[in-house]
Structures are given as structure tokens and as C-alpha cells.
Amino acid sequence: MPDVPSTPTTVRMTYRDAARAGIREALQRDARVFLMGEDVGRYGGAYAVSKGLLAEFGPDRIRDTPLSESTFVGAGIGAALGGMRPIVEVMTVNFSLLALDQIVNNAATIRHMSGGQFSVPLVIRMVTGAGRQLAAQHAHSLEGWYAHIPGLRIVAPATLEDVRGMLWTALDDPDPVLIFEHQALYNMEGDLAAGAGPVDIDRAAVRRRGDDVTLVTYGGSLFKSLQAAELAMAEGVSAEVIDLRTLRPLDMETVVASVRRTHRLVVVDEGWRSGSLSAEITTRIVEQAFYDLDAPVVRVCSEEVPIPYPKHLEDAAVPQPGSILAALKQVTAAEGGR
């Protein structure tokens, strides 16, 4: 009897492929879903995420827009109010500032301002972060700004499973969800379950278990943090790595439980230190678990400069495995005070 080929349980793909698969599945699953944004159609997306989708689904569902973020984000809000499930792609987080009024004053507030009569089931995808020499107008990490706004859910997928499955869950949310995809992850390869589906967007994930220090991060800094944790283990320091995944609302329960066990905390955030997400996490730990700490919280953030263009300066400006490792060694070298 001839061998019957088995169905592969995992598929090798890039982060970019996984993001595209999530969009394709959403379009196939629900006729109300459509994608729109600058260059998403004929060009295939500035980061090639939507490449091939125009030929597959046609111009009614893959819509190229004018270079006017305020206009097409506003159109997405209107479509969501009208019963559609739009996915709006903003090329980079820097360009999303041109649509701040639509995102912050409209999408985030309509449920509240209408007394709960209207919801805005809108998903906005945008690229964030540095690492590809795109300089100061294309490479900042501003997701912490949006995490300040009530009425928005902010997610930052770091893994293939999350970038594919978070979109599914986000489209089921009755309120606006902003998805921040880190530009340095698009070429990252991995194995994804062939039948991967929706994933949770409420809880952080412990990506590595450890006993000596809790290392909290998200997005493009996750794999740098995991690398630093490996280096630290070689020096006798066991770091637990937590991927926040969702930046608003923060899953502090997972973080606090870890800190109460390890008694030390390092926060890695590609945003600037002043007024950052790392500052918020630190403050909440001080409020909720101060007496569990054996050492001051240490933060690893981007230098407070516009992201430089030269590669060596860009690398120096943002968190790297070496600077994260130094923070782990610093916090674990502190003497316990409890």
C-alpha cells in the first residue's frame, strides 16, 4: 500500500507572511471586511504585507487611498459605523499623527459620546519601531502615546502566531483596535501551526521562565530580550521574560505575580524614557508590589533623540541585547532589602 503524504502540522513562513495570512483569512471569512490604505493594492503594501491580495480579492476589498491619513482613517470610522469591518493600514506610526483627530477624538470617543448607542469596530494596522535605517520620519515607537487613550485597545504582536491571530480577535471587537507591527520583524522566519486561528488579546505571555529577575517587554524588543536572557543564564542569572502583547489594557496581574516571585524587574521599551510605557509599568509595580522588590526597577529605553539614519547610530539609539544584559546584571547585583 503506497504511503499517504501526511498533512504538515506547521508551515514555515515569515512574520510578513503570517500578517498577510491573517488578512487573507479575514477577507475570506467575512464579506464585511476590507483593507484600505496607501499603496496596499497595486504596489502590494509598503512592506509587501498585502502583496497579491488585490488580484485575489479585487479593488472593492483592497482599496488604494489618497495620501491623506485623516481622510481614509475617517472613512474607515464611517464604514465601521455603517456595519462594515474595515482594516485600515497606516504606513508608519509617524504618519498616523496626521490622523490623530480621527483616532483620538472620534474613533475612541464615539461609544462614550453616543451613550453606548454606537460602536466603532475598526482595526488600524501600522508599522512601528526602528532597525531598518528609515530615520526619524519613519522609525519612532509611539504606541505608548496611543496606550494613554481610553476607548482604544492597543496590541503589539511579536510572534508569527500573534500577528496572524490577533487580527481575527481584533475584528471581533466592537471597539477600535490599533495593531502595531514592528518593522524589524517582517523578515523573521518561524514555524506556524497550519490551522492557527484567533489568539487572546487580553493577557500577557510568559515567553521564558526564570527565577532571579522579571524582564518585561513587547514587540520588536522581545527577541532581543530573549537573547539577553540566554546570555544572562550563561552568567548565572535566570530571567523570566514576559511579552506584554497588549499595551492597553495592560495585564498587570501577570507582571505583578512574576515580580512577587523574582523580586526584581527590568522593563525594556523602545519608546523614549520620559512619559513612557516603561514609566507606567514601573509606577504600577511601585503601587502594587513595592514591598516585594529587592532592588530598584531598571528601565532600558531608546535614547531621547530622533532615530538616526546611520546604522551604527540607529543601533546605539535603541535597546540592544547588550544593554538589556547590562540591566539584568545591574538589578541582580543589588543587595536584597526585604
Specify whether the CB–CB gap between 90 and 80 falls below 8 A: no
- Helical axes 277-289 vs 252-262, angle rounded to 10°: 60
Write the CA distances from 234 to 54, 180, 203, 268, integer angstroms.
Answer: 49, 33, 30, 20
In whole angstroms, give the CA distance from residue 122 to residue 291. Answer: 41
Q: Environment class of residue 56 by beta-carbon count within 10 Å: exposed (0-12), middle (13-18) or buried (19+)?
A: exposed
In whole angstroms, give the CA distance from residue 205 to residue 218. Answer: 10
- Residue with C-alpha cell 485600515? 88
In whole angstroms, give the CA distance from residue 126 to residue 106. Answer: 18
Specify whether the CB–CB gap between 80 and 122 falls below 8 A: yes
Catalytic residues: 69, 138
Specify whether the CB–CB gap between 47 and 186 falls below 8 A: yes
